[in-house]
Amino acid sequence: MKSPLRRLLLSLTIASSFTVPALASAAVEFTPVIGVVHPLKAQYVDFGTPLVFGLSTSAAYGARVTWWAQRRVALEASAVGAGTMLKLVGGGAIDSPGTLFQGDGRVRFRLNPANPTNHFDLIGGVGLSDAQFELTDFLDRSGIKRKARTEWVVGAGATVDVWSNAALRIDVEDHLHARNFEFDPAISGLSPGDRGQQDLTWTAGVVIPICKR
């Protein structure tokens, strides 16, 4: 028969294995995500009659790899792509399908204490934003080029411990960058308008622990 002390130690060991989820001790996480990219601003070009360039709101898909360098600080690599539509409005309307890409590195700072798997995070980083469309070649020949731009990422996220070895993570981010259009100086009478651009991105994904501390 086991002694009372041994039974107590065994009970504590079993209890601790259930109260410390695998996710809480994960050093590396992989998170496939789905979401929505919503451009916040249209882009105006004045040819005498204003011409408006705008991107449509689109479903987004991607993945993130998160390394918790410290208990409350993580380095993260993110890549998200979306099928989108370039809309040109001015004396008529033209829709050109294409793709939008957002790739960046960011820091994730956990606001809660280090151990709980349920936590809120602040997000900040820098990366590239690019979009290409069926009209890209035509615009290039016309002296209007759309190129990749450096983007700044700010946002917040929440992680909820839903399963024993995984969690649900929801992030909301604002991707800020200069306007992606460049105009040939030889084109006269052209006024680019506002150069700032913002893409609001919502994503949700399942956090899968890969490597333990």
Asked if the structure places residue 70 within a domain, the reply is yes
Q: What is the pTM for the complete model shown?
A: 0.75
Asked if the structure places residue 77 within a domain, the reply is yes
Asked if the structure places residue 199 within a domain, the reply is yes
Asked if the structure places residue 5 within a domain, the reply is no
CB 39 within 8 A of CB 57: yes
From first to last of its 213 residues, the chain has per-residue pLDDT tens of: 455 555 555 554 444 444 445 555 668 999 999 999 998 877 656 555 566 777 888 999 999 999 999 889 999 999 999 988 877 765 556 777 888 899 999 999 999 876 677 899 999 999 998 877 777 666 666 666 666 788 999 999 999 988 878 899 999 999 998 766 666 666 655 555 556 788 899 999 999 998 876
Asked if the structure places residue 10 within a domain, the reply is no
Split into its structural domains, the chain has a count of 1
Specify the pLDDT at position 18. Answer: 40
Specify the pLDDT at position 106. Answer: 97
Q: Which domain holds residue 104?
A: 21-212
CATH code of residue 29: 2.40.160.20
Specify the pLDDT at position 190. Answer: 56
Asked if the structure places residue 8 within a domain, the reply is no
Cβ–Cβ contacts within 10 Å for residue 166, how many? 19
Asked if the structure places residue 2 within a domain, the reply is no
